[in-house]
Amino acid sequence: MRTEPIVLGIETSCDETGVGIVRGHTLLADAIASSVDEHARFGGVVPEVASRAHLEAMVPTIERACDTAGIALRDVDAIAVTHGPGLAGALLVGVAAAKALALGLGKPIYGVNHLAAHVAVDQLEHGPLPEPCIAMLVSGGHSSLLRVEDVTVGVDPMGATIDDAAGEAFDKVARLLGLPFPGGPHIDRVARDGDSVHIDFPRGLSSRRDLERHRFDFSFSGLKTAVAHWVEAQERSGEPVPVHHVAASFQEAVCDILVRKALDAASSEGIDDLLIGGGVAANSRLRHLAEERATTLGIRVRVPRPGLCTDNGAMVAALGAEMVARGRTPSSLDLPADSSLPITSVLAG
In the complex, the residues that contact ligand KG4 under the rule CB under 6 A are 14, 139-141, 167, 170-171, 182-185, 188, 278-280, 282-283, 310-311
Residues near 259 by beta carbon (within 8 Å), at least 6 away in sequence: 286, 289, 290, 293
Closer Cβ to ligand KG4, 217 or 311, answer by number: 311
With beta carbons less than 8 A apart as the criterion, state whether 188 and 177 touch. no
Closer Cβ to ligand KG4, 187 or 324, answer by number: 187
Beta-bridge mates of residue 270: none
Provide the CB-side half-sphere exposure for 267 (13 A, CA): 14
Closer Cβ to Zn ion, 139 or 249, answer by number: 139
Closer Cβ to ligand KG4, 140 or 194, answer by number: 140
3-state class (DSSP) for residue 143: strand
* Whole-angstrom distance, CA of residue 158 vs CA of residue 136: 10
Per-residue binding string, Zn ion, 104-143, x by CB under 5 A, is -----------------------------------x----
Choose from Zn ion, ligand KG4, none: what does 184 bind? Cβ within 5-8 Å by kind.
Answer: ligand KG4
Q: Cβ of residue 123: shortest distance to ligand KG4, in angstroms?
A: 17
Closer Cβ to ligand KG4, 35 or 76, answer by number: 35
With beta carbons less than 8 A apart as the criterion, state whether 168 and 219 touch. no
Q: Cβ of residue 39: shortest distance to ligand KG4, in angstroms?
A: 11
Q: Say how many C-beta atoms besides its own lie within 10 A of residue 333's C-beta.
A: 12
* Whole-angstrom distance, CA of residue 278 vs CA of residue 141: 9
Q: Cβ of residue 115: shortest distance to Zn ion, in angstroms?
A: 7
Per-residue binding string, Zn ion, 302-341, x by CB under 5 A, is ---------x------------------------------
Q: Cβ of residue 166: shortest distance to ligand KG4, in angstroms?
A: 7
The string of DSSP letters for 109-141 reads EEEEEHHHHHHHTTHHHHSSPPSSEEEEEESSS
Contact positions vs Zn ion (CB under 5 A): 139, 311
